[in-house]
Amino acid sequence: MRRHRNVKIVATLGPASSDIGVIRALFHAGADVFRLNMSHGTQAEQKARYDIIRAVEAEAGRPIGILADLQGPKLRVGVFAAGPHELAAGERFRFDLDPAAGDGQRVQLPHPEIFAALEPGARLMVNDGKIHLRVESCGTGFADCVVTTGGIISDRKGVNVPDVVLPLAALSDKDRADLEFACALGVDWLALSFVQRPEDVDEARALARGRAAILSKIEKPAAVERFADILAVSDGIMVARGDLGVELPVHSVPPIQKRLVRACRHSAKPVIVATQMLESMIESPMPTRAEVSDVATAIYEGADAVMLSAESAAGRYPVEAVATMDSVARSVESDPVYREVIDSSRNIANRSTVADSIALAGREIAETTDVAAICAYTQSSMTVRLVARERPRVPIIAMTSEPQVLRQMCLIWGAHCVLTPVLERFKQAVVNAAHAAVEFDFADARQKIIVMAGVPFNTAGSTNILRVASCDEQLLSRTDPE
């Protein structure tokens, strides 16, 4: 049950990882959460993967989180009559709404919302940012541009518009259908693409109706600018560096990543660092040294999770990629410098509630006394998130009677998740915590643990009690842990 690391691993499933043998191997190699990418595959294929994950979970007796990643609006050009065309720097090129096949002077861009938002001087990027154009003049249904960085343009290549907030909802009709499908299936997290404003998150939350937690992908400059507002209405964040690196100067992405990860930690909300982490392992059994350093950097920064995309979904070495990420995480977390970095980045200035103080006190007690683990009993994950924010040196045992909360906490740094029966009194929580700590080898019967919860019991957001308990006393207690 126990992972000997704190950072979590998210593995994307796809053609290379759709049968039970591979998914089981990915879990045993270290995957804590599986991502279903709704951009690829049918709903029937995603359901089959979901069912396999739950079967592996039942075999292992350990919770597994499932994240459904919604596609978001896709902005693409139309088609060309004579095939691909090379645009040279200095040439003029037009985008318009005319459905006729394009040529060397123009092509359809079937998105009137883009033309409504464009202004002269705005940039357009095509084909993952390989081609850059500057808008010279624009109007209803057209944009005349000059090519600033040339390249080959071809059918249905993607378009990025980094300089304006587009009047597009983050959820397309496909996304709404996929959202309802994923929620009905029982996924634990929904990842939203194309988030530009907090209202995008509000819309998804209204549609989800509490059936899944909402994770916002930060992949647009507008989302970076309004990050504080987006974070406030999100349950978690994904730093999606691929599109960020297209729409922003590539050298600006590392400091943005560091800033976003730190803000999430201060807000006690989980954050995933994603995209191109071990990309060479799509074709190679070994990563590059630069990729290993990239993964290590995210872990040193305090990210809750690191994610594999094509490496595990379509690569030749999906299990090896997860195992590599697991090895890097263990190596980093055993480095004394890691603890120095994590401790120095802790900010206690925003601790203002009783629950904040309980979590802070738990970490300080654990660091100054002989305590084996912190056991946090929660109904909403809040207590566990507050404890994880402190990044304690001892393990966190996350205990809940809510199965979906249990699986959602698989994304939280350091959380070793245990399902409990519904408890009525704090004494029962203490006894259950002692049994879990000993059963899962976090403590022996002679050691002490910290137990946190809220009274009255089974009330979300009521964390107000902390106890240091001896395991041996609780194991001999007459209170039945079952």
Residue 265 covered by a domain: yes
Q: So what's the pLDDT on residue 412?
A: 98
Q: Distance (Å, rounded) from C-alpha 308 to C-alpha 10?
A: 6
Domain hosting 142: range is 85-160
Strand 131-139 and strand 142-149: pairing?
Answer: antiparallel
- The number of domains in the chain is 3
Q: Kindly tell me if the per-residue pLDDT of 458 is higher than 90.
A: no
What would the pLDDT profile of 380-416 be if each residue is shown by its tens digit? 999 999 999 999 999 999 999 999 999 999 999 999 9
Q: Which of 44-58, 103-117, 458-472 has the lowest mean pLDDT?
A: 458-472
Residue 370 covered by a domain: yes
Q: In CATH, what number is assigned to the domain containing residue 150?
A: 2.40.33.10
Q: So what's the pLDDT on residue 477?
A: 65
Q: In CATH, what number is assigned to the domain containing residue 214?
A: 3.20.20.60
Same domain, 44 and 155: no
Please name the residues in contact with 196: beta carbons below 8 A apart, sequence gap of 6 or more: 165, 166, 168, 170, 220, 222, 223, 226
Same domain, 206 and 248: yes
Q: Kindly tell me if the per-residue pLDDT of 263 is higher than 80.
A: yes
Q: Is the Cβ–Cβ distance between 156 and 76 less than 8 Å?
A: yes
Q: Distance (Å, rounded) from C-alpha 12 to C-alpha 31?
A: 10
In the beta sheet, which residues pair with residue 190? 68, 214
**Arithmetic mean of pLDDT over the chain:** 94
Catalytic entry in 12, 275, 378, 400: 275
Q: Kindly tell me if the per-residue pLDDT of 482 is higher than 90.
A: no
Catalytic, 275? Answer: yes
Task: Mark which of 275, 298, 332 sits at the end of a domain.
Answer: 332
Residues 23-41 have a mean pLDDT of 97
Catalytic entry in 74, 76, 130, 427: 76
Same domain, 63 and 105: no
Q: Kindly tell me if the per-residue pLDDT of 165 is higher than 60.
A: yes
Q: Is the Cβ–Cβ distance between 188 and 66 less than 8 Å?
A: yes
Same domain, 210 and 274: yes
Q: Kindly tell me if the per-residue pLDDT of 481 is higher than 70.
A: no
Catalytic entry in 3, 5, 8, 35: 35
Same domain, 199 and 246: yes
Q: Kindly tell me if the per-residue pLDDT of 320 is higher than 60.
A: yes
Same domain, 152 and 184: no
Burial 425-455 (b: 16+ CB within 10 A, else e): ebebbbbbbbbbbbebebbeeebbbbbbbbe
Nearest alpha carbon to residue 406 among 63, 56, 66: 63
What would the pLDDT profile of 226-250 be if each residue is shown by its tens digit? 999 999 999 999 999 988 999 899 9
Catalytic, 35? Answer: yes
Same domain, 115 and 244: no
Catalytic, 217? Answer: yes
Q: So what's the pLDDT on residue 424?
A: 87
Task: Mark which of 332, 363, 395 sits at the end of a domain.
Answer: 332
Same domain, 68 and 215: yes
Residue 481 covered by a domain: no
Q: So what's the pLDDT on residue 62?
A: 95
Residues 428-435 have a mean pLDDT of 93
The four Cα atoms 224, 227, 230, 231 give a dihedral, to 10 degrees, of: 130
Q: How confident is the model at residue 476 (pLDDT cuts 50, 70, 90)?
A: low
Same domain, 113 and 136: yes
Residues 25-49 have a mean pLDDT of 97
Same domain, 246 and 375: no
Catalytic, 389? Answer: no
Catalytic entry in 3, 217, 258, 391: 217
Q: Which of 23-32, 141-150, 159-168, 450-459 has the lowest mean pLDDT?
A: 450-459
Q: In CATH, what number is assigned to the domain containing residue 460?
A: 3.40.1380.20
Q: Which two tokens stand for residue 7?
A: 């950072």
Q: How confident is the model at residue 40 (pLDDT cuts 50, 70, 90)?
A: very high
Full-model pTM: 0.93
Same domain, 280 and 363: no
